Structure 1
Amino acid sequence: MKLVRDTWLIYSRQMSLVLRQPTWIFIMLIQPLYYLVLFGPLLKQMPTEQMGFEYGAMETFVPGLVIMMAMFGTLFSGFGLIAEIREGVIERMRVTPVSRLALLLGRSLRDVSTLIFQAVVLVLLSSLIADLTINWGGLGLMLLIVLAIGLGLSAASYGVAIVLKSEDALAPLLNTITQPVLLLSGIMLPLTVAPDWLKTLANFNPFTYAVDAARALFNGDLNDAVIWQAGVLLGALTILLVFWSGRKFAKSTS
């Protein structure tokens, strides 16, 4: 119960800081909206059936955008923590009785809450711009995938940040990791027409399953086997990342 109470206290404080400056919530939507407005129309002119699109062009592209936002919107959360370390916030936490894991979970849940709101707004705007029909049941399940990605990557970002304690080290490390993961996930275009060696590499990327599952759910294909595969992989990955980051957080604040 102490962990739950402390997590709620940290989460409430972090959310109050976000709500004081809600502009940042919408600023994070600008990049995916650029892709939607400036890149999406190009897909409509392509022979999607020949390119291996299982669904329509925008029905394939929009779920990929949501997953991309989930990855980039939370993986760079650690930069804020580095600022708190520099200002002595984490140092002062050492003398408090607050659970060390709660310090991590409260921040990560703040990031997830913001992310879920942004994902819903992006889908609603996409439905207006691209005239898409929303499958609400599938959307709800897709948001669970977004939640798992957000929680795991946010925790990982905080864990790495508290180890490195430097923006100059964190930025190139995250960029080096995210670029191949992004390209191998099929976010921009499906990998169905990719060469075999590229498909083999993509099979080892858990976010490939997340993107495929998001597309299936977004289009109401709830019986696709990739959905439970993504759930198992992302669930295990999230638990692993939260556990690892929690240990790093505990050591740094004890």
Structure 2
Amino acid sequence: MKLARDTWLTFQYETVLLIRNPSNIAITLIQPLTYLALFTPFLKGVMGVSTYGDAYQIYVPSLFAAMGIYSGLYAGFALLAAMHQGVISRCRVTPVSRIGLLLGRELMYVVLIAFQAVVIALAALVLGLRVQPANVLFALVLLSMMVLLGVSISFCLAMLVPNETVLPTVANSIAQPVALLAGVLIPLSVAPLWVRNVALWNPFAWGTRGMRAILEGQLRGSVVWEGSLIMAAVAVLAVVLTSQLFSREIA
């Protein structure tokens, strides 16, 4: 109960800080909305699909995955800022659980990116996407796992590389190949065989494939359950390892 309470208190604190700056939320939506409107026509021509609705079924889950990967893997900058500003140090003298401090922050990112994904889905529906609401909700669950994994990795990087100059380079060096091997721009089905073989080791690729199948209405497809199980297992492992590192670093 104490862990749940401390997590909730930290989540509330971080969410209030976010809500006080709604312009930041709006700014983060500009890029995905731009890609949604401008990149999908190119994808329609490349993939040879007949309608924009089919193109959105391919690209919207890829865009969800891109949001989860990039937003998650760059979340460590906020943790690094909190560490340098003394926020984490001040929390150390309180009875709040160290793990609760971490999980509350991670859940804030899950809710933020889920909200952004809902906005993207609504915009895509207006532009021609056809999908069942229940399928979107299932895709959001899978996206949440991807966010947890990305944020956990980013928090680890922030603690291991606590330098504002070096951290962007490290994060970008990880995010770019991970995103490409997840098929967030072009589906991996059109990639060379060796790229697809390498992508099998990328859990984000499994998540992207799973979300694409979900939005295509293939909820019972094996790729959905394989992707969900892989993402859940890796996300839980990442959260546990990050919690241990976080507890040790701020002890």
TM-score range, shorter chain: over 0.9
RMSD: 1.6
| 1:26-41 equivalence runs, <5 A | 26-41=26-41
2:209 matched to which residue of 1? 212
Kept after mapping to 2: 8 A contact 1:105/1:155? no
1:245 matched to which residue of 2? 242
1:60 matched to which residue of 2? 58
Segments of 4+ in structure 1 off by > 4 A?
none
1:93 matched to which residue of 2? 91
- How far the C-alpha of 1:4 sits from its partner, in A, is 0.5
1:104 matched to which residue of 2? 102
- How far the C-alpha of 1:43 sits from its partner, in A, is 2.1
2:5 matched to which residue of 1? 5
Residue identity matched to 1:98: V
- How far the C-alpha of 1:47 sits from its partner, in A, is 5.1
Kept after mapping to 1: 8 A contact 2:49/2:55? no
1:126 matched to which residue of 2? 124
Question: Equivalents in 2 of 1:219, 1:151: separation in Å?
Answer: 24
1:172 matched to which residue of 2? 169
- TM-score, normalised on structure 2? 0.94
1:81 matched to which residue of 2? 79
Kept after mapping to 2: 8 A contact 1:135/1:219? no
SS at match of 2:191: coil
1:205-254 residue CA offsets vs partner (Å, 9 max, x unmatched): 11111111111111211121111111111111111111111111101221
Question: Equivalents in 2 of 1:24, 1:143: separation in Å?
Answer: 21
- Return 5+ residue gaps in structure 2 as ranges: none
| 1:37-48 equivalence runs, <5 A | 37-46=37-46, 48=48
Count how many residue pairs are aligned between Structure 1 and Structure 2. 249
Kept after mapping to 1: 8 A contact 2:135/2:214? yes
Kept after mapping to 2: 8 A contact 1:26/1:118? no
1:192 matched to which residue of 2? 189
1:24 matched to which residue of 2? 24
Question: Equivalents in 2 of 1:205, 1:170: separation in Å?
Answer: 22
Instruction: Report the structure, 1 or 2, having the larger helix content.
Output: 2
Question: Equivalents in 2 of 1:46, 1:176: separation in Å?
Answer: 27
- How far the C-alpha of 1:77 sits from its partner, in A, is 1.0
